[in-house]
Amino acid sequence: MTYAVGNTIAREFIDGFRSSQIWGMLGWDDIRQRYRRSLLGPFWITLSMGVFIMLLGVIYARLFKTDIAIYLPYLSVGLVTWGFIATATTESCRAFQEGERILKQIKLPYGVYVLRVVWRNVVIFFHTIIIFIPVAVLFNVEPTWYAFLALPGMALIYINQVWVAFVLAILCSRYRDIMPVVTTAVQILMFATPIMYFRESLGDSAWIADINPLYHLIELVRAPLLGTPPAMLSWEVAISTAIMGTSLALALLVRTSRRIVFWV
Amino acid sequence: MARIFLNNLSVDIPIYDVGAASLKRALLGRAIGGRFSQAGSIVTVKALKNLSLEANVGDRIALVGDNGSGKSTLLRVLSSVYPATAGTVLVDGHVSPMFEATLGMNMDATGLENIRMSGTIWGMTRAQIESSMDEIADFTELGSYLEVPVRTYSNGMLLRLAFAIATVRDPEIMLIDEVIGVGDQKFFAKAFARLQGVIQRSQILVVASHADDILRVLCNKALWLDHGILVEYGDSETVMTAYRTPEVVTTQPHSETQPHSQWSPKIGVPAN
């Protein structure tokens, strides 16, 4: 029994990571597809996110009566990171459907289809996080050594996104009515998570942010870039969700891998 | 040494209707109880039943059988796409499947880009792809069309490209599903020659096709499937002839079974 379990994990999960040449190419090609024959190519992503942040930042800074020099850098990192999490989550529901033609012809590790979706969103993330540089310069955000902590933060977001993507890809290929639920949940979470407002604004209800793992994940990238180390609680939440979530995803994978091809 | 060993292989394929793919209904079904079982139905098709087969180096097997007999299912088991429901599957050797000529082809990408993509999906390294690029490009005879998006290609051109990509590697076990027999004459002759070349270099070949003349040339053995059951496996001439021979059906003379007057369905003619 353990042999079969180890076999499945090795074959679908680990070999999935090792097939980076395949999912790297597929994910990158997905992006090239979208921007073929366009003027700026993938940098349209950067431009549109930049405009969105600027507009939102100016309007909301006024609405919340906050100093724009503080609000805009905070908003830009939060929105870009949230963009990655939200899009990767909703797109992973269709990871196996997207790869249907390949999946039904040649045996590739299931991880390939999942990691492809996450990877293309990673590429988009790096196209949009660069917006923070001109924003930081414009509003005199002090660069500190803490900024390097954003890198392990990004790594933890990636690890957590991978297990979520696996779980959703598997569940949504079996039950086709889950995806709309995921889309709605993601939209709701965007308002429940401090991205367009500060945690402190919640006052006594700050626990709403504290119990939200997404808040902690975003903080791991946002706080360092803005010059402060993230709270220890955020590291703890991110690491524990990574461990528990990955275990869940592997257990689900072992149980369902033999049937996925029939669900797609 | 390539080898295929199947022992009492059975493959059941579940087919889900819209209701069965709904989580909401599945949960409702449990909450409300058996009476209102709206969970939807899952139909299970027994695609292969207790199939046993042994193939070794030098075997070139033609898969024959009516549509729905299980040929595609068998090929997919051999390429590890479908898992076995029961029985043993042992496939030794690198498998090259050619099920759909346009594997992973991206219609908006150019011919050259598609060659790279397909090569990568099929596990070729970048170095291997680049070194074979000229050979592939020459075989397609598409010339500068290779730099143009594939969606502008005609069907024949698509097939030429797909075939060139598929046959560039030397497979140990080659699986082909109904892809051959499609395309224009001149290309077909060339593709056939190339296919034969690849097949000489492959150790085991399994081809599903309705094109008998091709099968007769390519294959030395044949496997006849009917509704998932192995009817006959052996020398290709013998089995294929047996498969093609129509069954002789005896019928009784009409007047003994049905009186003529009762049988007339024409409108306006009274039945008496």
What is the phi/psi pair of residue B178, to 5°?
Answer: 55, 15
**Which has the minimum average pLDDT: A24-33, A173-182, B50-59, B155-164?**
B155-164
Cβ contact (<8 Å) for A101 and B100?
Answer: yes
**Which has the minimum average pLDDT: A213-217, B83-87, B123-127?**
B123-127
- Residue A211 confidence (pLDDT) above 90: yes
Asked, for residue B68, whether it belongs to a domain, the answer is yes
Band of the pLDDT at A2, cuts 50, 70, 90? low
Cβ contact (<8 Å) for A33 and B79?
Answer: no
Band of the pLDDT at B264, cuts 50, 70, 90? very low
Q: Is B142 helix (H, G, I), strand (E, B) or coil?
A: coil
Closest CB to A105 among B24, B100, B108:
B100
Closest CB to B103 among A102, A107, A263:
A102
Asked, for residue B263, whether it belongs to a domain, the answer is no
Q: How high is the pLDDT of residue B157?
A: 79
Interface test with B, best of A94, A261, A262, A263 (most B CBs within 10 A): A262
- Residue A147 confidence (pLDDT) above 70: yes
Q: Is A161 helix (H, G, I), strand (E, B) or coil?
A: helix
Band of the pLDDT at A173, cuts 50, 70, 90? very high
Report whether B47 contacts B84 (CB < 8 A): no
Q: How high is the pLDDT of residue B268?
A: 44
Q: Is B35 helix (H, G, I), strand (E, B) or coil?
A: helix
Over residues B118-130, the mean pLDDT reads: 84
CA distances from B168 to B2, B48, B75, B131, B184 (A): 19, 32, 20, 11, 20
Cβ contact (<8 Å) for A102 and B81?
Answer: no
CA distances from A224 to A68, A141, A206, B59, B101 (A): 19, 11, 21, 64, 51
Cβ contact (<8 Å) for B26 and A22?
Answer: no
**pLDDT tens digits along B233-260:** 999 888 888 888 876 666 655 555 444 4
Task: Tell which residue, B203, B113, B95, B93, has the closest CA to residue B165.
Answer: B113
Span between the terminal Cα atoms of chain B, in Å:
74
Residues in chain A: 264
Band of the pLDDT at A42, cuts 50, 70, 90? confident
**pLDDT tens digits along B135-168:** 888 878 888 888 888 888 887 777 778 777 766 6
Whether A255 has its CB under 8 Å from any CB of chain B: the answer is no
Closest CB to B80 among A29, A36, A107:
A107
Q: How high is the pLDDT of residue B27?
A: 76
**pLDDT tens digits along B42-60:** 888 999 999 999 999 989 9
Task: Tell which residue, A35, A57, A211, A73, has the closest CA to residue A150.
Answer: A73
Q: How high is the pLDDT of residue B188?
A: 62
Q: How high is the pLDDT of residue B262?
A: 44
User: A180: part of which helix (H) or strand (E)?
Assistant: helix A178-192
Over residues A170-185, the mean pLDDT reads: 95
Band of the pLDDT at A1, cuts 50, 70, 90? low
Predicted TM-score (pTM) of this structure: 0.86
Highest mean pLDDT (candidates A6-20, A232-246, B193-207): A232-246
**pLDDT tens digits along A250-264:** 999 999 999 999 999
Asked, for residue B260, whether it belongs to a domain, the answer is no
- Residue B39 confidence (pLDDT) above 80: no
State the total domains in chain B: 1
- Residue B186 confidence (pLDDT) above 70: no
Cα dihedral A138, A142, A144, A150 sign: negative
Range(s) of the domain holding residue B153: 3-33+43-244
Per-window interface: A 134-193 vs B, CB < 8 A: 174-178
For chain A, which residues make up each domain, given as ranges? 2-263
Per-window interface: B 102-131 vs A, CB < 8 A: 103-104, 106, 108-109, 116-117, 120-122, 125-126
Q: Which chain A residues touch B28 with a CB distance below 8 Å?
A: none
User: A158: part of which helix (H) or strand (E)?
Assistant: helix A150-174
Identify the burial level of B181 via C-beta atoms within 10 angstroms of its C-beta, where 0-12 means exposed, 13-18 middle and 19 or more buried. middle
Q: How high is the pLDDT of residue A36?
A: 80
Per-window interface: A 99-118 vs B, CB < 8 A: 101-108
Q: How high is the pLDDT of residue B33?
A: 57
Q: B208: domain CATH number?
A: 3.40.50.300
Report whether A213 contacts A132 (CB < 8 A): no
**Which has the minimum average pLDDT: A5-9, A108-112, B5-9, B33-37?**
B33-37
Whether A263 has its CB under 8 Å from any CB of chain B: the answer is yes
**pLDDT tens digits along B192-204:** 676 677 777 788 9
Asked, for residue B216, whether it belongs to a domain, the answer is yes
**Average confidence score pLDDT of chain A:** 93
- Residue A115 confidence (pLDDT) above 90: yes
Cβ contact (<8 Å) for A106 and B97?
Answer: yes
**Average confidence score pLDDT of chain B:** 79
| Selected residue with higher pLDDT from A61 and B187 | A61
Asked, for residue B228, whether it belongs to a domain, the answer is yes
Band of the pLDDT at A114, cuts 50, 70, 90? very high
**Nearest chain B Cα distance for residue A17, angstroms:** 14
From CA B75, how far away is CA B56, in angstroms rounded?
A: 16
Report whether A161 contacts A88 (CB < 8 A): yes
Instruction: Give helix B155-166 / helix B126-140 axis angle, nearest 10°.
Output: 140
Asked, for residue B252, whether it belongs to a domain, the answer is no
Asked, for residue B261, whether it belongs to a domain, the answer is no
**ipTM score assigned to the predicted complex:** 0.81
- Residue A34 confidence (pLDDT) above 70: yes
Asked, for residue B257, whether it belongs to a domain, the answer is no
Q: How high is the pLDDT of residue B73?
A: 93
% residues pLDDT > 90 (chain B): 24
| Selected residue with higher pLDDT from A99 and B33 | A99
